[in-house]
Chain A
Amino acid sequence: MRGMAQDEPTDVPGAGQPGRLAPDVPECSVRRDLSHAPGTVLTTPCCLRFASRGRSLSGHRLSRCTECLPLDFHRGASAGQTVPNIGHLRATIGTLSLRRPRTAGVTTPSAYPMAALAENSCVRCGQIRVPAKPRSIGFVDVTTLSGRSTELAQLRGWFARAVGGQPQVVVCSGEAGIGKTQLLEALSDEAESDGAQVLWARSPSPASAPPYWLWRQLLGPDVVTRAEPVGDRIALFDRLAGSLIETSAVASTVMVVDDIHWADEPSLVALLHAVRTLRRTRLLICVAERPAGPDSSDGWLRVRPGLIREPHASVLELHGLSAAGSAELLRELLGGKMPDELVSDAHAVSAGNPFYLREVARTLSRGEGLDVELPATLAGVVEQRLEQLRPRTRELLRASSILGEEFSIAIAARVLGRSVFGCLPDIDDAICAGVLAAAAGDRVRFTHALVRAAVESGLSLRDRVRLHGRAMRAIEQLYPHALPGHLADLARHAAAAAVGGDGRSAAEWARRAGDDAMRVLAFEEASRLYASAINTGADVLSEAERGRLLVDRAVAEHRSGRLDTARAACGEAIVIARRIDDHRLLAQAALTLEPVGDRAVDRDILDWCRAALEAPRATPALRAQLLARCAEAMVYCGEWDDAAAVSSAALAAAEGAQDTAALVTALRARQLACSGPDQLDERARLAAVMIGTGQAGRRPDIEMWGRFWAIDAHMERGRIHQAAVELDRVRWCVDRTGGPMPRWLLLRTSAAIAQARAEFDEALRVSSEAYELASVLGHPAAHGSYQSLLAAVGHHIGHTEASRQVLTTDANRGVNAELFALLGPAYALVDIGEIEQARALYRMTGPPQQWVVPPYFALSVMATGAQVAVAVGARDDIRYLRERLNPYRGRHVSGGAGTANYLGPVELYLGKCAAALQLWSDAVAELTQAATISRGTGAPSFAVEADTERAELLARHDELNAGRRLAASVLPAARSLGMSPWVARLQQLAPTPAVLSPRETEVARLVADGSSNRDIAARLVISDRTAQNHVQHILTKLGFTNRSQIASWVTADQRNE
């Protein structure tokens, strides 16, 4: 049985003596006067005293506020300003417009959660009143911003730009206590007075909050628990960003993230995504950070570079106040002139740190004279303040310091072994001293991170371990039915307490917290927690448990896009699995990563899968999955023949296993292994099987793959219309499947089909969207796909400076992309006339006979290679490539691994090769056929290309008139499609308007209007015969054979003008 006297009445002034005040406190004349009108400013000496010193009056009470609208909770009000109290803040918690629980001023009355709040509040309107003028003696925690006018002006400038529709990001950087929060509060206050909204979030110092804590504060606690399409983190990020955009659409918005250096990484990744999504939003995002150091989370160190690289991001560095600024702040705090020597010393010791200066002022205000010793560190000044508190309060603060910057009174009470009510006087004491401030519910928080850190640093290791252990048990006891919200905190306490030997609990809580983080798609946080479980449980976990945690961590790292660490974790798990002969763990680890074209990773996957296949007791379904993964890795590793055989075995095993998941995996592997042009029929069959499997199981995610494959097959057969029809079906599947990868594939395919149809603007728009999405995904094929689309579009409409940069950037880390890293830019250089540079790149590819080309790139490589070879005059290569392309007559060059672009019919390249080899008749025949095929398939720009090549060929081969006629007939189409480079080439051949006489030009225009010869004769007052002669001359000069060609020519010419 515990002692009965554990919660004795306290020694708080006035406590237990109703109606009596501490001896130094004058009686307040309005203390019991509840009759004043709302809004009255209380100016009695008593109120002044308590407002300025932050002491509480006993016996005052609050009545329910029924008159006020929810307003913001202001940290420090200016003199005479009325301030809504904490109750309003509580009312807004959990809404979109969560207001800022800004750092409370050291002694600002509005910080009181308990009696002190009541003492300074109007019983009618609930507002707290601050005296109009501070007293001239004693400490007054003024909230005016001293010495920061320059920085505030800069922030105003950024805010003005944001208000003008240019969203801004400002990283406000400076050491602890330098005044970042206060500066941002000043800006927020100004913005609010101008009608803007303020959103405020704060990162907790230790990793104690659930994932996406920043967003939970900004948008509500349930913001990340709503259902997303399976695994679709981009959808989650889009939703978060969308909420911000919606908010800033209502009014200009300032969003502040305080102490961002402690934020959880998923919150930061989502923030970066949101910043990249902002367009013309009236939003200023200010984040406050300490300079990189031990305080910075790994997440912030990883995300920060990307954030400050954003075009509308700026860094605002805060340094210490100047000597004059320090003096001004001290004078304001102490209400009078300070001795120069003291001011100078304080400035020298603090380097102008405002937090330090405030603490010095507070010490001086205690009336112990000016002969005070200035502590050398910030922690020292905090300790000086804590020394003034009662022992019970100090004990509470010490225990609470391990709970985090904000903590539950109930948990603190249990850590201390006191009752909740027994803690209230101590909480009040700490609040009055400005060490704690009120937060929502039963929570309070340290007024500054430095305060908490200073208190915690005073704990011995033994005390910390003990307190963390108690905190863990307190949470377990208090929240057994609502643990998910506390899992991260439990894991933290358990890890800290594990030093005392309880590694099992630490590992278990970290694992559960990691699982919860995975559930809400907080992959980086999950990985951190799994790593914590592995470390804290090092001495107690079995090898099998450690191996499974490594696999969990590998999955989390993989989904975070960190392939190297995922691979390392998998490797460790594999070693363990082999050592303990755990075939299931071996298979799990082997199947964790997917081959994406990174040779080192793909090699590992192949080895692991082979090892797992050697293990006995694998079920048929698991065996099918391992074989399938093996086959995929083999394709990427260049073992194409083996891949074909293994994928076939995988498919057979999956069909035998009657297991849908295994069948789907095997089909995908088989499709990849059959990605060469020779297996087109097989791929079409696989597509049908996949579609059927998806439809039978009502699984749009499975059907989707079959439809993508069907599109690939249609495009390779030149059935662009059917591909477009299939695109609508696949869109339905993608919408129901969700996920960034399907969306990227959809966008990429849409862009390629638009490009094939010569809808160039649409193709560029959609491909750009796809590229942005893929950049977030970090897919290695993203850049290559985008390059290939830009190259295809630029080939027909010309290259912009931007597209040239993309095309000549060697960022192609894609699948077996070394060859394309040379051929792609060479292809573009040919288009822009940089033949010598193209030649240099082409030479680096070596002889085409030795090109190592994965099957899915075969036709694309041969076609682009042929194009470049023709341009640089590599006759042997042209001959070879023509031979290689010849068997694929009737097929179309499309894609690679999926439809990423369309390069026209094979005959187009055969024709170009034949022309380069001076096989005139073959060339004319191939090009004629290419144009016919292109027109028939609905790829008009390739028809223009083929006709242009043929027209030039004819002109060079003594058939100038035929060439000119062809050029003139193609020119309108080239113009209407916006194919500038081709228009230029055609114009060199085609007759110009100057060829016609003025009279003929007049007649041609009338022909274009639809006039008959008789009409023309009547109009021009000439004979019918003369009109007919004019038309005949026009046809001859232009090389045309009928009047409609004249009409088209005139129309195109007029449009061109």
Chain B
Amino acid sequence: MCASLAYVARLRKDSSEEDGNLVIQMDRTIDESAAWEPKIIAFLCTWCSYAGADLAGVSRFQYPPSIRIVKVPCSSRISANLILDALRAGADGVLVSGCHPGDCHFISGNYYARRRFALLKNLLEFVGIEPGRINFSWVSAAEGERFSQIVREVTERVTKLGPASRLVKKPLPEITAYSTHSGAYQRTLEY
């Protein structure tokens, strides 16, 4: 979870107040609730969507830094196992993007993928995963600006839904004790 630091400056009167001295106390608190940013795993097909994202970068189109890109050869490489794995790992959202129908580099991959994704999306919403957690799009290699729009839209959707909690696999406490993540190590020392 992204934590932002908020400096809280408090004016506090010291015991030596009679002298008219004011002691300014600066407290540094970690405000975890403010400015949470979602983590969205974006599976992009190499030939169209990844190139489109690259074009967005080269053309300096701004989009929120919420996506983590995984380059795959084709959108049909993405199976339901992978999407669920992203959700289990704690991703707040998933974006899968491929070539436009008819333009797949492998001719028909995105056609099969389209059927698969439609069914998966409906099934996940049926069992209660919030609509908007997983998203699909077709982005071609020339659509840099559109890619940035799509990322903006997905980030908005996922931010509104809040951090993911329904299909997240939390690691066992014993494992976090040995992880290199210092925060977790510090916490377990308290027991």
Answer yes or no: do A and B interact. no
Residues of B within 8 A of A (CB): none
A residues neighboring B (CB under 8 Å): none
